[in-house]
Structure 1
């Protein structure tokens, strides 16, 4: 297999087959309860917030090795756990570590010869399943997705954005959801892609069609596929770009900086691990003002400095950039950002409303 994302999908599945052994090794301060491994967080802190599924559900909708941190909403697979536990910033390092744990040889180089191995069936939650879900979704225009984003003052959508609408996206209720929670909702589907533009996963935001807000479920946002290092990309990578955690955060920034390429990494740990395009020289980071956001910015800055990339943090006036856009307005938001951008970038990217 030549593509790293293909290798990641197969290794994530193999790790899922040995989920409890992986947890005992990398999350040793946790313990098993029923079909789950419980621990404080992905950094092996004692506690019960993060839970890893140790076996697949009988209906096939819950894959072994998938985890969720109930305190932060972060989620992923066992490759993410290994990357966070070992502090990896490169996907290749995580794949090498996973092969070592599984006692697998390094993959042979690609050749032009015939392939004799049969392609494995794509399991639930895999990059292949993510590609199918994205392909089965339709345009955002005229949908509840467009109404939801408009309600958050996000109106500058483009036909080539990595966003789609699915009218009936399945939701698996968590243990904290109320009994009888509805299992099918419309959803905003966002493509997670690697540096080459290949889909490695999707992010789902379930929506209430009657209120044009997030669906009334415990975890209205979830991702599937391989996320580490990748993200939801708006615009083509260039020498200057912006990164942030949430899709709404990035879309809010794009309302006043429409020409700047941007990426939503989907969580603070994934923001700290986002991969750098080869041409990148300056990275603006739309940070969240909390300890997790501080940690992501510190890790990103440390990695970038070794690659000769300048990191410039951007801070909102209120709680986050979408609050700025909705409550303060685009004009004042643009003025506040103008004081944080490098002057040449302010002139190039900032669009002053009015």
Structure 2
């Protein structure tokens, strides 16, 4: 980044909250961060902009937890306003800060072009199409090592033997085996993708900094297991939801991939009861409360399913399937026990 651009980004950082309120008006302040759907000002909660200098970095730096994109407030201005020329970004920033114009000889910063330069939905669909069904692959081994053995109706999951992993900008790309999950809308159209990079033998996730990443349009959408009708269960992680799927295989379920996205899932028409698969942490509590409020306002009964430990996959691995089954029977609506819970053979 040139000195002029660096100085401009620094000045914007000193007014980070004001910048966010102006250019990311669809978001809101949450503590020391501004929270919004993405850098293009989409409503949601997956992107966080730091509002104060801290040990983690300067004010104005942002990260989108859903896509892995990151940048500064110049990126925010560019993407939120749909600007392609850096001179237009500078002019917009100067107008906001009411600064005199920077010399037209100032160069654009040498930054990595964000992943949004390609249509994320198209690339998600291509990646899923290039992957293969999971039976007989290390994805199956990975899930079984997590205690998940019921793998029917898992067409939303696939295996890719060489899915590219980019540790950080300018680092070499690593092709690694990965679990590929399709994130779909209520009509079944792929809107995004979630990748879990795996160890070569499927024994665990790959030993890399961020073994899970998602990209695409995730807001309101989810990884789906079964087709929702009048009753549905919704949780965060794929492994958590699949843990319940083995005990209740006929109950349609969705994995929203994060607490923030769980709170924002779209309700299918005709839904009358929603089981909220809670993770035991502050983010899970917040998602639970938000989802209960949304369900109630839509005249949908909301019932919370709470694990004994951190999440239901941990319960499954520690206590076993019989204890998990008994745990769920006590929390379901009575009419749903006989309808959905598979009794022990």
TM-score when normalising by structure 1: 0.68
Residue 217 of structure 1 corresponds to 208
| Equivalent-residue separation in structure 2 for 1:210 and 1:197 (angstroms) | 31
Residue 87 of structure 1 corresponds to none
Is the Cα contact below 8 Å between 2:183 and 2:194 reproduced in 1?
Answer: yes
| Equivalent-residue separation in structure 2 for 1:311 and 1:101 (angstroms) | 39
1:200 aligns with 2:191: yes
Is the Cα contact below 8 Å between 1:206 and 1:221 reproduced in 2?
Answer: yes
Residue 170 of structure 1 corresponds to 164
CA, structure 1 residues 335+183, in 2 after alignment: closer, same or farther (shift >3 Å)?
Answer: same
User: SS of 1:216's equivalent?
Assistant: coil
Is the Cα contact below 8 Å between 1:76 and 1:227 reproduced in 2?
Answer: no
The superposition leaves residues 102-133 of structure 1 with CA deviations (integer Å, 9 ceiling, x where unpaired) of 69xxxxxxxxxxxxxxxxxx944611110000
User: SS of 2:307's equivalent?
Assistant: coil
Compute the displacement of 1:161 (Å). 2.1
Equivalent of 1:183, from 174, 199, 203? Answer: 174
CA, structure 1 residues 229+51, in 2 after alignment: closer, same or farther (shift >3 Å)?
Answer: farther
Q: After superposition, where does 1:106-121 map in structure 2 within 5 Å?
A: none
Is the Cα contact below 8 Å between 2:148 and 2:243 reproduced in 1?
Answer: yes
Compute the displacement of 1:50 (Å). 9.4
Q: After superposition, where does 1:31-180 map in structure 2 within 5 Å?
A: 42=47, 46=51, 67-69=63-65, 74-75=66-67, 123-124=117-118, 126-158=120-152, 161-174=155-168
Residue 23 of structure 2 corresponds to 25
Compute the displacement of 1:353 (Å). 2.3
Is the Cα contact below 8 Å between 2:33 and 2:51 reproduced in 1?
Answer: yes
| Equivalent-residue separation in structure 2 for 1:344 and 1:52 (angstroms) | 52
Larger Rg: 2
Equivalences, count: 271
Is the Cα contact below 8 Å between 2:48 and 2:63 reproduced in 1?
Answer: no
User: SS of 2:249's equivalent?
Assistant: coil
CA, structure 1 residues 100+172, in 2 after alignment: closer, same or farther (shift >3 Å)?
Answer: closer
The superposition leaves residues 171-214 of structure 1 with CA deviations (integer Å, 9 ceiling, x where unpaired) of 01048xxx988711100000000011100011000001135210
TM-score when normalising by structure 2: 0.70
User: SS of 1:132's equivalent?
Assistant: helix
Equivalent of 1:336, from 315, 327, 341? Answer: 327
Is the Cα contact below 8 Å between 2:50 and 2:60 reproduced in 1?
Answer: no
1:301 aligns with 2:299: no
CA, structure 1 residues 159+260, in 2 after alignment: closer, same or farther (shift >3 Å)?
Answer: closer
Residue 265 of structure 1 corresponds to 256
Compute the displacement of 1:25 (Å). 2.7
The superposition leaves residues 4-31 of structure 1 with CA deviations (integer Å, 9 ceiling, x where unpaired) of xxxxxxxxxxxxxxxxx77973379779
Is the Cα contact below 8 Å between 1:144 and 1:209 reproduced in 2?
Answer: yes
Compute the displacement of 1:136 (Å). 0.5
Structure 1: stretches of 5+ with no match in the other structure? 1-20, 55-65, 79-98, 104-121
